[in-house]
Amino acid sequence: MKDFTVNNLTQRVTEAYTANTETPRSKKLLSSLIKYLHAFVKEVDLTEAEWFEAIQFLTDTGRKCDDKRQEFILLSDVLGVSMLVDAINHPKGGDGTESTVLGPFYVPGSPEMPVGGDIRGRHLSEAKPCLVVGRVTDEQGTAIIGATIDVWQTSANGMYDVQDSDAPEWNLRGRFKTDRNGEYTIVTEKPVSYAVPTDGPVGKLFDLAGRHAFRPAHIHFKVSAAGCEPLTTHVFVNGDKYLDSDAVFATKESLVGDFEICHDEQLARRFDIETPFTRLKFDFGLMSRAS
């Protein structure tokens, strides 16, 4: 029988979990996880009460997850882990648009919309109409015809449709295709800054750290095309007061867009929106898929 002590426990646990692993990658992941988790426990002299509190925190995080909310993704986001994983896996190169976090409120299967389609399922009095236009190109700058743009955002009340029982289904969500010029057009509303949910474990973490929970105003985009690496990103509103203190550390200078006031009556009539409206022009560059 072996004696397990503070001095040998990390080595013994590592050996138990890596001796028969099937792949070198699994061995590396398991050994590093054990090494750094044990190192944390020893470095802070973790008490039993603190460890049980951590277990309860993770248990509560799981209980807060359902088909409309993913508290673990939110936790990953606010700890900066999501952004770190994104930065490691999607380094910018060539003319490609930079990526950022997916966030916990993406919903697959949003409705397909025509060019210039309106994703507003309702018209809140405080909402400002917004026309989003742009182009999708490959890394040589050639227009991509038929690229898919999946878009979603919060409403003017600071909530996504899946958070708001009064919102119609698929409010401010839609999928668009670029036209023969590689261009896209979306009718929506100007995004607003908002607080991430704080009624769960993540809120307790913010309270402990004395952090605010706000994200700068943005629109989410997933852009994909045949032969290209898919892109998951945001476009942030220039001038938003939370650009330098995003609750999930996801801002990048290249992803800040100018939402300009527009009084073009002809354009407003064409897309059936009132004036003045805000207009964002933002082009996306996709990189070739790695072989």
For the chain, which domains are there? Answer: 1-46 (no CATH), 74-285 (2.60.130.10)
pLDDT digits (tens, 9 = 90+) for 196-205: 999 999 999 9
Average pLDDT over the chain, rounded to whole? 95
Task: Give the lowest-confidence range in 69-73, 88-92, 146-150, 200-204.
Answer: 88-92
Number of residues that this document lists for the chain: 291
pLDDT tens string 22-65: 899 999 999 999 999 999 999 999 999 999 999 999 999 999 99
Residue 95: pLDDT band with limits 50, 70, 90: low
Share above pLDDT 70 across residues of the chain, in percent, rounded to a whole number: 98
pLDDT greater than 70 at residue 92: no
| CB contact burial 237-249 (16+ within 10 A = b; e otherwise) | beebebbeebbbb
Which amino acid would we find at residue 115?
V
Mean pLDDT of 245-272: 96
Nearest to 225 by CA among 153, 161, 284: 284
pLDDT of 272 over the 90 cut: yes
Q: What is the pTM of this model?
A: 0.92
How far apart are alpha carbons 90 and 67 in whole angstroms?
A: 27
